[in-house]
Structure 1
């Protein structure tokens, strides 16, 4: 039995979890390592959810194509020789924001300056039909340690004829007696830090749903989806990221960098539009919530534009 989006969000907002499943993993069963939860499909692990206390926020790493090609940068989790070592908070697939009530939940500048997304309990993984689902409930904790809100994350991963599909649902709740203000900054969103092979200066192609190509043309622009494609170790691979039509300010703005970071960010208007008079901030009132949905398609080969568009349209109907 598969839990609907409406049922999951309702459970997230009241603090409950979904219960229908064929197998539930209460700890890191099958992973063999503390602070990790492997995501198995067809007997293989295509992604791992990492939530250990050594990290300031959870993330998916690594992320692989169906043939096993890793599309995420290794550093700082599992460094590879010669790869880039900038922005240590760019780890795999991640969600955060650089200004929530004035606190930085994106960059990591030391525990005395960094806000954290801390799991309230060990995240759970389970199968739901063809999906493997990871759910986590996180506290939004500024450097002073006083929780200001809650974030529920759900990642559903499955194998499809087109590739490995990761569906993400993020619900941020202002449930601590006051509102949450998402400030206007380019730093933040739902993003992925790619393997260095996806750098534009190494031959990667960066494309958006409007047909614009190159970071210089798609950064800060609104689009339904963005695709990065390249060759990794001589093998073609592509990653397409979809912004669900129900999302706040869809089609979203993209913090799509030439060095391999791509993040969907609906808040950074004055940065993206290069206009100090713009204000992309948004306040969620006390007791309210803000929900986001995204999908990532990780493919061997380059998924054709017409196929990406078809998959996006189908996603929009879900």
Structure 2
């Protein structure tokens, strides 16, 4: 992967200007770094003892790359829109009054999958009994390769996808690019996975892959009380809750709205709603070089917002099958973009233009 060529991804974000642990992480106890000149507006601060790298936009914490020992994967958490408005759910790291407490493996923004050589990386968390851990995989952060500050911030990391006995199934190299344009904050993630000593099979499964668990206010209002099962048949109850202040809705690139975006293919999907008196638009964009493009969306009313390129057999009800695999030594790369916009109405035509530009970058 030639990461230098990927830096051009951020240039595209100019279009958006047209529309305007212990390792436990606390969202409101961070101290802002000293103000810098404009060329140091985006600043990354490594806190090794706390096992995180904070990303600051001026005096506001945007997000942090965290890799606590007690978690089964590294994630970006929290993620804040401009004005310190948290768009991610607090639970399980920082529970807030009135939010859901289901699915403790849904933390911030992450990338993993529910069936990698038969191991479930997606559902692994502290909630899995020790006697069942041999059915699950984990992603272990191994190093910070580089970081840089400026008008945009860059963070490059390495991680290992491990089996229950510590065997390395995949090696991961990920670069995050953080930028801001007007009322839009942008995260580009470029992840390369390399199979190690054996073939790696990603069996079609609904549990994946590039996801955000959203704040309660950005969920979709629903009176449903659900019991959802994972691929192993394990049930999770999603309780009926008071919908006061719950304002979210979905829109995808094909014009589909609401809960109907689930199990549909689309180039991009937007979740939008009101929080703290602001209009919040959150867009996830797929890239045409990604396997399974255009991705299916595993996006739920209760706040799971996820792109899953692997689950084709499940989402198509058997009409399509992918069963993606990497032979030993083979690699694949995924590119995703997240846009977090406040105040402006991020319409379909504008998102289509940004998505088209993003797709043109190789």
Distance 2:48 2:190 in 1: 26
* 1:122 Cα deviation after fit: 4.5
* Superposed CA RMSD: 2.1
Tell me the equivalent position of 2:163: 142
Match of 1:205 in 2: 249
CA-to-partner distance for each residue in 1:17-43, whole Å, 9 max, x for gaps?
A: xxxxx99xxxx9454851111012234
Pick from 266, 271, 284: which aligns with 2:326? Answer: 284
- Compute the displacement of 1:300 (Å): 0.5
Indicate yes or no: 2:105 matched with 1:89. yes
Change (3 A) 1:220 1:104: same
From 49, 54, 58, give the equivalent of 1:42: 58
Distance 1:31 1:120, change over 3 A: closer
* C-alpha deviation, 1:267, in angstroms: 1.1
* Residue 268 of structure 1, aligned match among 311, 334, 338: 311
Q: Work out the CA distance in 2 between the residues paired with 1:211 and 1:60.
A: 29
Instruction: Using the TM superposition, give the Cα deviation of residue 196 of structure 1 relative to its aligned residue in structure 2, in angstroms.
Output: 0.9
Change over 3 Å in CA distance of 1:75–1:123 after alignment to 2: farther
Shift of 1:305: 1.5
Native 8 Å contact 2:82 2:183 kept in 1: no
Aligned residue among 97, 100, 117 for 1:101: 117
2:298 matches 1:255: yes
- Residues 184 and 342 in structure 2, CA contact (< 8 A), matched pair in contact too: yes
Structure 2 regions of 5+ residues with no counterpart? 9-38, 222-245
After superposition, residues 1-318 of structure 1 pair within 5 angstroms as 3-5=4-6, 29=45, 31=47, 34-108=50-124, 109-110=128-129, 112-113=133-134, 114-122=136-144, 124-127=146-149, 129-174=150-195, 176-201=196-221, 202-215=246-259, 217-275=260-318, 278-301=320-343, 302-318=345-361
If you compute each CA radius of gyration, which structure gives the higher value, 1 or 2? 2
Count of paired positions: 295
In the TM superposition, structure 1's runs of 4+ consecutive aligned residues that sit over 6 Å from their partners are: none
Give per-residue Cα distances to partners, 1:170-222, cap 9 Å, x unaligned: 11101x2222111110101101110011111133111100001111x211111
Tell me the SS of whatever aligns to 2:350. Answer: helix
Change beyond 3 A, Cα 1:72–1:33: farther
TM-score, length of structure 1 as denominator length: 0.87
Q: For the structure 1 residues 110 and 35, does the alpha-carbon distance in structure 2 shift closer, same or farther, using more than 3 Å as the test?
A: farther
TM-score where L is the length of structure 2: 0.77
